[in-house]
């Protein structure tokens, strides 16, 4: 008889997270893609939602206003120049494919995503969840 073990980490309790290892993402439900994603203007340019000319010519506050109206950005921290990407009603990142649970802009993903889990709430650990 085989035993199936499901791991249920709690996103808000980093003590339940698993130590990251290669291949862990292959069986995960992309729990990290439900965390708020903070991005800088250069990330928005890489993602293709702001063009380079606009980034140079327009005030970040105006860019934030436009992206908020388009429901791409949830909030903007003017003091630090940090945008927080909007999420779907279920908490998923806008760029996460609901069926495959994979990033639809992987090559253009923001630095926050590129650096996870090396940098984050618990460096070296993931809020790993299986189906």
Distances (CA, A) of 36 to 1, 6, 39: 41, 25, 10
- ∠ CA 117-9-90, nearest 5°, is 85
Name the pLDDT band for 1 (thresholds 50, 70, 90): very low
Rounded Cα–Cα distance for residues 75 and 129 (Å): 27
Structure tokens at 6: 């499901």
46-97 residue pLDDT tens: 999 999 999 999 999 999 999 999 999 999 999 999 999 999 999 999 999 9
Can you give the residue ranges of every domain in the chain?
14-126
pTM of the full structure:
0.85
* Mean of pLDDT values over 98-122: 94
Given this model, what pLDDT does residue 8 score? Answer: 61
Residue 38's beta-bridge partner residues?
84
Given this model, what pLDDT does residue 6 score? Answer: 46
Rounded Cα–Cα distance for residues 82 and 37 (Å): 10
């Amino acid at each position: 008889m085989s035993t199936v073990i499901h791991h249920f980490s709690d996103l808000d309790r980093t003590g339940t997270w698993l130590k990251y290892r290669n291949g862990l993402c292959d069986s995960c439900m992309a729990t990290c893609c439900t965390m708020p994603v903070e991005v800088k203007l250069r990330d928005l340019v890489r993602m293709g939602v702001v063009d380079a000319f606009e980034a140079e010519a327009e005030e970040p506050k105006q860019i934030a206003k436009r992206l908020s109206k388009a429901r791409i950005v949830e909030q903007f921290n003017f003091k630090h120049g940090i945008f927080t990407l909007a999420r779907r009603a279920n908490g998923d990142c806008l760029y996460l494919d609901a069926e495959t649970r994979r990033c639809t802009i992987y090559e253009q993903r923001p630095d926050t995503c590129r650096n996870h889990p090396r940098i984050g709430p618990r460096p070296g650990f993931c809020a790993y969840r299986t189906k």
